[in-house]
Structure 1
Amino acid sequence: MRRNITLIMVFVLVLALLTLSAQAQDVDKLKFPKLSELKVPEVDRVTLDNGIRLYLLEDKSLPLFHVSVRVNCGSYLEPEDKVGLADICGTVMRTGGTAKWTGDEIDELLEGVGASVETYIGTLSGGARVNVLSEYTDLGLEVLSEVLRRPVFEEDKIELAKVQERSAIARRNDDPQGITFREYRKIIYGANSPYARHSEYATINSITRDDLVAFHKAYFHPQNVQIAVWGDFDKAALLSKISQYFGDWQRAGELIPEPPKVDYEYQSKVYYVEKTDVNQSNIVMGHIGGLLTDEDYADRIVMNNVLGGSFGSRLFNSVRSREGLAYAVFGVYTANIKYPGVFYNYASTKSESTCKAVLEIIKEIKRMQTDPPTEDEMRMGKDGYLNSFVFKFDSKAEVVTRLMRYDFYGLPEDFLFREKENVEKVKPDDVIAAAKNNLHPEALHILVVGKGEDFDMPLEQLGFGSVDTVDITIPSAEEKKELAITPENLKKGMEVLQKAVEAHGGLENFKKVNSISIKGTYLLSMRGTEIPIAIEWLRVLPDKNKSVMSVMGQKILQIRNGNSGWKTDQMTMELTAMTEEDIADDKKNWDRSTIQIFASSDDPYYQAVYDGTGKVNEMPVAFVELVDKDDEPICRLAFNSETYELVGKFYYDETPLGAGTIEETVSNFSQISGVKLPMTTVRFLNDQKMSQTDIAEFIINGEIPPDAFDKPE
């Protein structure tokens, strides 16, 4: 019986294969009718008296109304010491309210009708988008007019935008691929180029409301504005509405400066970014690219597709399929209108095959200049572009916004069709010529992000000379203040600190603290939402520490036992070894803890510098700056001027939400084993609430399990 079933299965399989073979042969013989000609809808163009250019495309298929605005400005216009200004301006124009509504009121208005209005500023242009049901066209246009013409830049929304920027800065080295492309652009264009630079804590901190107002005033004028509209509308009625909301906008301002030219020199160089917590290398290599208007742009499209544009490209076939060196490998030759794009080839490979992958990619770049593409490669190189051409017209939005962009740059309306015709004409000799004219394998900038000690050979042996190590350390936002460390201030500072120690239980009692055990709740504040996290914390002096944070069914551990330890990786939730930096951070945190400061107040390590008086939460306080023996700041303490009870603590730190000055305010004191300590601590980062800790149980010198600081199984 089983033998019969097997025979039947074999028979069915053979029959299926024969059928498939016949079908494949039949498909090859099929004839398809010629595709109908692509028809691009007509766009009406109107220029208002004040210079606003309109692009109108009616589409009554759905009761929707859409607007896209382009403003001739960009981050290239912001000062080098205020990088991030344009981005924040583009955000807070919308979130920071207008002369008529607050930002929150605009949110409520739009949410009530299922609409959206957003603003932004990029590298070479700013803009806005409106999406609304056509019955609310007036509301959409009025809100758009308000945010473009009359933003007030509310201070609290500016600070919120800054918090988001700082948070992005703090996380920017988390992703190796993100590091790779960010640093590559800096190599190609220059670290200070507006086409590659990025914000830092210092540049964000320097931005003021006056800066935002001035930037908006300088560039947001009607002659710099284009407005594309598509959807369900009547042209005559729409023009009347646009005139109502934008017609009285007066011309002003000066001629907008052109984006800067790119100064580039072809040369060979290898760059390395050390990333020790990875087992793969991210590789990118190339040089400057070209312009969209170059005569051989179409030839480059096909050339790039043959080299690394997709599955079946030379890079894919060699680096991935034949050599098995990388899962991800591709090449891109980008082009811009106002400044050159970049040519780059990317691969992600295991650390042990890093240099082999680099050399294989270089070999394929060189081969593009000597080996003409085959018939299959030419078909693949063209089809990748031609088969997707129709999708450049699959929405009214693409049609009208592309026309608006072409019009701004002075490109012909049929530019895209000319490009398509030129791609169709490309021949193998054209690809070779494009490779010889545009690829420079002898002058490649090669960047590798990874763990160098695991590479198959030193990068110096690639044959491109010495290797430049790229420092991706995020510059501190800490503002060093001038502190008068004089004998008088040291004496007075120590007097204040000693009175504070006595007010909290006395030096002798603090020196008796050998261990602590804490249970409580940690409230993490994120964009107005508080996330409760259960915490347990054990510490045995001097250098054993264990924290357990329980959130959403997950436990996040950190255990330090002397100079080693383990922590939960919050991406994979796996236990990993603590780094030297982690150990140093734990020591730094303990050095500025209240117990450690008071218990070691007689230690020469701590210098207490009197720093005047002031107020914290309207309470008169005396400030004492703690510095170490090298005069480096540890933290700033605020004590009640009358009782010397601790009121607050200030210090610089880097957090997942960004870096800056942490302000801790403490309250709800309790007597525990002879010492007086706060049970509630609220933390603010750059004036924004970050977290709150409420301690429910605090035990000093309790029983600690002997294996508490062992590595968990």
Structure 2
Amino acid sequence: MKNLNKIFSVTLIGIVLFFSSISATHAQSERPERPELIQFPELNPIQVPNVERFTHRGIEFFLLEDKELPLISMSVRIKAGSWLVPEEKTGLQAIAGEVMRSGGTVNVAADEFNQILENRAVSMETGFGLTSGTASMNLLKEDFDEMLPLFIELLTQPAFPEDKLDLAVTQWRSSIARRNDNPTSIAAREFANLIYGNQTVFNRTLEYHHLDAIELEDLREFHRQAMVTGNLMVAVTGDFNARDMRRTLQRAFNEIPRGSGNEFNFPEIPNEFSSGISFVDRPEMNQSIIRIGHIGGFRDNPDYAALQVMNQILSGGFSGRLLQEVRSRQGLAYSVGGNYGSNVLYRGQFFMGLSTASENTARAIHATLHEVRRLQNEPVSEQELNDTRERFLNSLVFRNENRSSALFEQLNNTYLGLPLDAFEQYVEEVRRVTPEDIQRVAREYLRPDEVQILVVGNSDLIGDQLEEFGEVNLIDITIPRPARADAGEMAGDLAAGSEWIGRMAGELIGDLEFTTVMMTGTAAQGGMTFDTESEMRFPGYLKQVINTPMGSQTILYENGSAKVIMGGAEQPVPQLNDALRSSLQRHYLNIALNASELEAFYLGEEEVDEILTAKVYIPEYEVTFFIDMESGLPVMSSYEEMNPQTGADMLVTSYYYDWTESEGVRMAYRTVDRADGTEVAASTVSSHTVE
């Protein structure tokens, strides 16, 4: 029986394979010889669902029934944003949106508020950007009537507790500390500065002093300015009866204070073009991140559709000319793309962005600009235009792939003052674009000879390539530190400070001149101790070999760049650059070697570990030394450093013990480091030599 089953199975498989091969052969015979000969049917007309609209107390409502699932989604568009915030309070709108939600309401504390939402699987969120704010609620249909009053209370009576403001500020401080970690983000930020100007309403950069200026009353005032009837539009979609929902919303939104809406008041952006080459040096990089472009346009431009199709031909994904030519054919880019931005309320920006090997930076820039000029000088073919247009239209279809997308499209158009059928008009205009239109708008709106070029990369590897584009503007992206709480200490005694630093230098190195210190020892951190070998060349080189149970690991800092070497592999660690540079500058031997050139302020006497010390502040390195008034040796040093986890300054102190002389140089053979009083690391030295 088993054999019969086996024979039957084999026979069945053979029959299936036979008919599969016949089907495959038949299918192949029906295929066109070339893929481009395939005939695609016309796209179905875009179906726009019927949205019910009404106005109540100045609030515009948009309702769309969708009974596919027992869910309801509500979104409130709020006419408020950072354009209302003065420059000195930059970031206020973002923090107000966060604390409005995280702080609960005046009647429901934050923890209880969160628990209520969690028990019902309800989502409520609030936030504000440049041109608008949003408040949203998503939940099961059965919970809507019970949760709507809580949502209205969140809109009208947020608590804004101080602890939540402190938490939000701490998180934003941490964000500031990390903002230079990603070179692509650096390029986007600094390129926008070149286009719109520094600290304009369109492109403000949040700094620590902005956060220090924001108070609770600022949040409350921003909320009062935002949450009035004239500023609100409400969209609701889901499983409900529109007539019943209308009555429910009218009752609920009676709680919103009456008031006229805010007026958009954006400064004019000149439609001006100029050429320039700017550079951000990142020594840890082995490639260049490039942005090229100029000011863009407005959404109401009659050429908007032609510009968007032109943009697709130039930089539309895998089929765009930039990718096909600069990346695929010439091999000059790892990634490449771009956009011709056209905003409704203010001018967008036209940019092309790419990343390339450092040695190819100039060639990649030339190749990118060549594609712009080719659009201006050579008409696109009907075939390329039609292929691009079809791909573009296919992608546009998904903007309204469900009923809720269409609802929010109408709300967005109304908010921005666009026609309700703006999308449908746009699609028809795209269909009518001709090759002549593409060449005309490329000539009229693109200025390849008047572009801003920004490069983020490694100056050592790039060399002088950028100079052919003009005088290079070096951009400093150093993050400004918060104002020192003890800035008044600068009023100390300069002469006495110089005398104390000179005495410390004499005790440490005498008259000896050297550049390099080599030492062996141990480092302890996190409950583990490792053997180390270190080499320091002041003020800019450090090599430390750490022997771990998993093998040796080398930390190397030179030319402003840090990297870790392990198992033959190298990994840049740009987040260590500032810390290692500062540690070398603040090292007591570097201070001793440069004592005659440093300003130092004597701030008086202070007892440290029962030792009377002279407190001396060195402003160039923002470090304070506590010098034993008897021996002249440092007992402790201290400085403030940003904690990237909390975004707040912490006091870092180093205590020095067991001073030992070798080859005329004294070193502390035991050092203990503390952060805000808590021991975080300790190290020992067993031997040292100098060269």
Shared fold, TM over 0.5? yes
Query: Distance between the aligned counterparts of 1:152 and 1:187, measured in 2?
Result: 40
> Would the aligned equivalents of 1:72 and 1:125 in 2 still touch at CA under 8 Å?
yes
Amino acid at match of 2:489: L
Q: 2:649 aligns with which of 651, 661, 685?
A: 661
Task: Give the structure 1 partner of residue 427 of structure 2.
Answer: 420
Shift of 1:627: 0.7
Q: Would the alpha carbon gap of residues 518 and 182 (structure 1) be closer, same or farther in structure 2, given more than 3 Å must change?
A: closer
Q: Would the alpha carbon gap of residues 611 and 429 (structure 1) be closer, same or farther in structure 2, given more than 3 Å must change?
A: farther
Task: Give the structure 2 partner of residue 609 of structure 1.
Answer: 603
Q: 1:348 aligns with which of 355, 379, 388?
A: 355
Q: 2:52 aligns with which of 38, 44, 49?
A: 44
Task: Give the structure 2 partner of residue 470 of structure 1.
Answer: 475
Q: Would the alpha carbon gap of residues 547 and 24 (structure 1) be closer, same or farther in structure 2, given more than 3 Å must change?
A: same
Per-residue Cα deviation, 1:370-424 (whole angstroms, up to 9, x for no partner): 2111122111231232112221111233211111111122221111101111110
Task: Give the structure 2 partner of residue 191 of structure 1.
Answer: 198
Task: Give the structure 2 partner of residue 584 of structure 1.
Answer: 581
Q: Would the alpha carbon gap of residues 131 and 558 (structure 1) be closer, same or farther in structure 2, given more than 3 Å must change?
A: farther
Task: Give the structure 1 partner of residue 174 of structure 2.
Answer: 167
Q: 2:106 aligns with which of 99, 108, 118?
A: 99
Q: 1:148 aligns with which of 146, 149, 155?
A: 155
Shift of 1:237: 3.6
Question: Which shows bigger deviation, 279-288 or 322-331?
Answer: 322-331
The alignment partner of 1:404 has SS state of: helix
Per-residue Cα deviation, 1:256-313 (whole angstroms, up to 9, x for no partner): 3422221242112122222221121112111111111110111111111112223232
Shift of 1:244: 4.1
The alignment partner of 2:234 has SS state of: strand
Q: Would the alpha carbon gap of residues 537 and 293 (structure 1) be closer, same or farther in structure 2, given more than 3 Å must change?
A: farther
> Would the aligned equivalents of 1:478 and 1:652 in 2 still touch at CA under 8 Å?
no
Q: Would the alpha carbon gap of residues 658 and 194 (structure 1) be closer, same or farther in structure 2, given more than 3 Å must change?
A: farther
CA RMSD between the two structures: 4.8
The alignment partner of 2:142 has SS state of: helix
> Would the aligned equivalents of 1:559 and 1:565 in 2 still touch at CA under 8 Å?
no
Task: Give the structure 2 partner of residue 69 of structure 1.
Answer: 76
> Would the aligned equivalents of 1:652 and 1:659 in 2 still touch at CA under 8 Å?
no
Q: Would the alpha carbon gap of residues 374 and 140 (structure 1) be closer, same or farther in structure 2, given more than 3 Å must change?
A: farther
Identity %: 30
The alignment partner of 2:108 has SS state of: coil
> Would the aligned equivalents of 1:218 and 1:253 in 2 still touch at CA under 8 Å?
no
Amino acid at match of 1:444: V
Show the 5 A alignment for 1:126-525: 126-252=133-259, 255-455=262-462, 458-462=465-469, 465-479=470-484, 481-483=487-489, 485=491, 517=522, 519=524, 521=526
> Would the aligned equivalents of 1:73 and 1:121 in 2 still touch at CA under 8 Å?
yes
Amino acid at match of 2:640: Y
Shift of 1:341: 0.9
Amino acid at match of 2:564: T
Shift of 1:72: 0.5
Q: Would the alpha carbon gap of residues 85 and 547 (structure 1) be closer, same or farther in structure 2, given more than 3 Å must change?
A: farther
Query: Distance between the aligned counterparts of 2:552 and 2:582, measured in 1?
Result: 17
Query: Distance between the aligned counterparts of 1:539 and 1:283, measured in 2?
Result: 39
Shift of 1:219: 2.2
Shift of 1:196: 1.6
Query: Distance between the aligned counterparts of 1:252 and 1:143, measured in 2?
Result: 22
> Would the aligned equivalents of 1:306 and 1:380 in 2 still touch at CA under 8 Å?
no
> Would the aligned equivalents of 2:70 and 2:141 in 1 still touch at CA under 8 Å?
yes
Query: Distance between the aligned counterparts of 1:219 and 1:353, measured in 2?
Result: 50
Query: Distance between the aligned counterparts of 2:99 and 2:367, measured in 1?
Result: 48
The alignment partner of 1:245 has SS state of: helix
Per-residue Cα deviation, 1:64-118 (whole angstroms, up to 9, x for no partner): 1111111111112211122111111111111122212222322222122222111
- Structure 1: state its 5+ residue gaps: 1-11, 495-513, 523-533, 598-603, 614-621, 638-645, 685-691, 708-713
Task: Give the structure 1 partner of residue 617 of structure 2.
Answer: 627
Q: Would the alpha carbon gap of residues 432 and 590 (structure 1) be closer, same or farther in structure 2, given more than 3 Å must change?
A: same
Q: Would the alpha carbon gap of residues 90 and 665 (structure 1) be closer, same or farther in structure 2, given more than 3 Å must change?
A: farther
Shift of 1:63: 1.3
The alignment partner of 1:483 has SS state of: helix
Aligned residue pairs, count = 630
Per-residue Cα deviation, 1:30-73 (whole angstroms, up to 9, x for no partner): 87766544322111112222x22211111111111111111111
- 1:568 equivalent to 2:567? Answer no
Query: Distance between the aligned counterparts of 2:42 and 2:314, measured in 1?
Result: 30
Q: Would the alpha carbon gap of residues 584 and 222 (structure 1) be closer, same or farther in structure 2, given more than 3 Å must change?
A: same
Shift of 1:165: 1.4
Query: Distance between the aligned counterparts of 2:26 and 2:251, measured in 1?
Result: 71
- 1:24 equivalent to 2:24? Answer no
Amino acid at match of 2:50: E
The alignment partner of 1:259 has SS state of: coil
> Would the aligned equivalents of 1:650 and 1:662 in 2 still touch at CA under 8 Å?
no
Q: Would the alpha carbon gap of residues 590 and 154 (structure 1) be closer, same or farther in structure 2, given more than 3 Å must change?
A: farther
Q: Would the alpha carbon gap of residues 255 and 583 (structure 1) be closer, same or farther in structure 2, given more than 3 Å must change?
A: closer
Amino acid at match of 2:623: I
The alignment partner of 1:89 has SS state of: helix
Q: Would the alpha carbon gap of residues 470 and 679 (structure 1) be closer, same or farther in structure 2, given more than 3 Å must change?
A: closer
The alignment partner of 1:53 has SS state of: strand
The alignment partner of 2:74 has SS state of: strand
Query: Distance between the aligned counterparts of 1:542 and 1:291, measured in 2?
Result: 56
Per-residue Cα deviation, 1:582-608 (whole angstroms, up to 9, x for no partner): 54322356559xxx99xxxxxx99865
- 1:651 equivalent to 2:639? Answer yes
Query: Distance between the aligned counterparts of 1:658 and 1:537, measured in 2?
Result: 31
Query: Distance between the aligned counterparts of 2:244 and 2:573, measured in 1?
Result: 67
Per-residue Cα deviation, 1:588-645 (whole angstroms, up to 9, x for no partner): 56559xxx99xxxxxx9986524999xxxxxxxx9996413x68642499xxxxxxxx
Q: Would the alpha carbon gap of residues 561 and 306 (structure 1) be closer, same or farther in structure 2, given more than 3 Å must change?
A: closer
Q: What TM-score, normalized by structure 1, do the two folds share?
A: 0.76
> Would the aligned equivalents of 2:315 and 2:323 in 1 still touch at CA under 8 Å?
yes
> Would the aligned equivalents of 1:313 and 1:377 in 2 still touch at CA under 8 Å?
no
Query: Distance between the aligned counterparts of 1:104 and 1:313, measured in 2?
Result: 51
Query: Distance between the aligned counterparts of 1:63 and 1:43, measured in 2?
Result: 19
> Would the aligned equivalents of 2:152 and 2:255 in 1 still touch at CA under 8 Å?
no
Shift of 1:660: 4.3
Query: Distance between the aligned counterparts of 1:624 and 1:143, measured in 2?
Result: 60
Q: 2:122 aligns with which of 108, 115, 118?
A: 115
Q: Would the alpha carbon gap of residues 149 and 29 (structure 1) be closer, same or farther in structure 2, given more than 3 Å must change?
A: same
Query: Distance between the aligned counterparts of 2:321 and 2:160, measured in 1?
Result: 52
Task: Give the structure 2 partner of residue 78 of structure 1.
Answer: 85
> Would the aligned equivalents of 1:319 and 1:360 in 2 still touch at CA under 8 Å?
yes
Query: Distance between the aligned counterparts of 1:292 and 1:169, measured in 2?
Result: 32
Q: Would the alpha carbon gap of residues 105 and 377 (structure 1) be closer, same or farther in structure 2, given more than 3 Å must change?
A: same
Task: Give the structure 1 partner of residue 14 of structure 2.
Answer: none
Shift of 1:336: 0.7
Amino acid at match of 2:79: N
